[in-house]
Structure 1
Amino acid sequence: MIGAQLPLAVQLRESASFESYYPGPNAEAVQALQSLGVPVLLYGPPGSGRSHLLQAAARQHRAAYLPLAELAAHGPSLLEGLEAAPAVCIDDLERVTPDREWCIALLRLVDQLRARGAGYAFATDAPPERMTLALPDLRTRLGACSRFGLKPPSDDDRRELLRERAKARGLELPEEVTRWLLNHRSRDIPSLLEALERLDREALAAKRRLTLPFVQSVLVD
């Protein structure tokens, strides 16, 4: 039984897919997760997209996905049986690595997955050499992963993404609207895409173009 079936009950976000992620400077990380031919370690600050990518990998590979920010209180027994999963994706690793019992359980799981040749990926807030780890052996295992420090998209990346996604929806996105979105809305990629989807729905219903006054009337609460 896999952690009393708890990990399998974790719901992946509908929006978390490789298709909805703009790779920008992180294209190599995306490619590594899409194949998962070698172990992968993502690191970056909150909002860097590491959870989005890890959930996308879990969806594609039918992996057990464990967000430890939510599940760490269940203890390291949560990992029992995961060695039999098709693949394993563990998020928020920094939440448990200062604990010796968690480190022992993670070491055991990694060794079992490696012996089977099963894919696995971790996400955390810092590279292994800067993590607080109760066991040095775990640092060695994490250091053997293909490591990717996620870089935030630039404003040019965000503009290009909005233009591409608007064009795919048959929308004309004026530059002044793009500029307003970047200056007045949440700048993370999922929020920008959600705003564009909402604009698409409202423009279709009202049979309107995406003028700045119309966009402001839709998005300003």
Structure 2
Amino acid sequence: MAEVPARPRQLAFDLPVDSRHGVEDFLIGPSNEAAYGLVEAWPHWPDAWLRLIGPEGAGKTHLAAIWAKTAHAWTVSAAEVTEAKVPHLISGGALVVEDCDEGPRDEAALFHLMNAIKAKGGSLLLTARSAPDLWGLRVPDLLSRLRLAPHATIDAPDDALLRALLVKLFIDRQLIVDTGIIEALTLRMERSFAAARQVVDLLDRRALERGRRVTRPLVQEVLAELFPQEPI
């Protein structure tokens, strides 16, 4: 009797994911409603600057992108802010500086940037995962300025927002799953935006490698791998 050949294993490639950053794609819930409202209140901010604080994957970049489109702002990382670039960075009148809590940073240049954009009558949106006291800043004037800046915080998602986020992430990857899988993930995964993206990414990869759809056994396998401390 002829041996049945094994089913070939499919390769998972790092193809771009359709992760849309439009205002219609931003999911609003109790954890981010206040932050969304404050960002959307521009140009009627209480000051020239606004700090946007939230954990990794919380939607800071998405919300910043919404504001950048409205304000016609450029977006740079904190590491790109140097004294020589400040005049150019403020020339448009609006700027997003992301990952302000990550190094290396030119603190003097960041302080100069804040002063210069205020003097110009412009607006500055700063994103970070934590409050300025935890950034390890060495320039007292910069720390004082950042402490006094108005801020908005994005917290961990509640059940409803986490479900909606999971559905969106699956749709972005053109994956169809039933509501039972969404419920199982919501109840058993770590409660964070970053974890939701990690789970859906791994499910997508495993399903593609095996040439199968996302099933409950696959969900249980991935949850046990990513969150072994959580009961399955």
TM-score (norm 2): 0.61
Quickly say closer, same or farther: Cα 1:77–1:95, change in 2 above 3 A.
farther
- Confirm or deny: 8 A CA contact 2:89 2:95 kept in the other structure: yes
Bigger Cα Rg? 2
Quickly say closer, same or farther: Cα 1:163–1:123, change in 2 above 3 A.
closer
Residue by residue over 1:195-218, the C-alpha shift from the partner in whole angstroms, topping out at 9 and shown as x without a partner, is 9xx9xxxxxxxxxxxxxx96539x
Match of 1:205?
Answer: none
Quickly say closer, same or farther: Cα 1:73–1:187, change in 2 above 3 A.
closer
Match of 2:52?
Answer: 42
- Cα RMSD (Å): 3.8
The secondary structure found in structure 2 opposite 1:89 is strand
Match of 1:138?
Answer: 142
Match of 1:67 among 69, 77, 87: 77
Quickly say closer, same or farther: Cα 1:164–1:44, change in 2 above 3 A.
closer
Match of 1:93?
Answer: 100
Quick check: 1:15 aligned with 2:20?
yes
Identity in percent: 22
Match of 1:216?
Answer: 215
TM-score (norm 1): 0.64
- Give the letter aligned to residue 42 of structure 2: L
- Confirm or deny: 8 A CA contact 2:169 2:197 kept in the other structure: no
Q: How many residues align?
A: 180
Q: Distance in 2 between matches of 1:26 and 1:175?
A: 24
Residue by residue over 1:48-104, the C-alpha shift from the partner in whole angstroms, topping out at 9 and shown as x without a partner, is 222222222212221010024xxx2685434331222131100011234x75xx222
Quick check: 1:115 aligned with 2:114?
no
Residue by residue over 1:133-163, the C-alpha shift from the partner in whole angstroms, topping out at 9 and shown as x without a partner, is 1211111221222212320212232235668
The secondary structure found in structure 2 opposite 1:23 is coil
Residue by residue over 1:92-125, the C-alpha shift from the partner in whole angstroms, topping out at 9 and shown as x without a partner, is 11234x75xx222112211121122211110112
Match of 1:176?
Answer: 180
Gapped regions of structure 1 (runs ≥ 5): 1-12, 167-172, 199-212
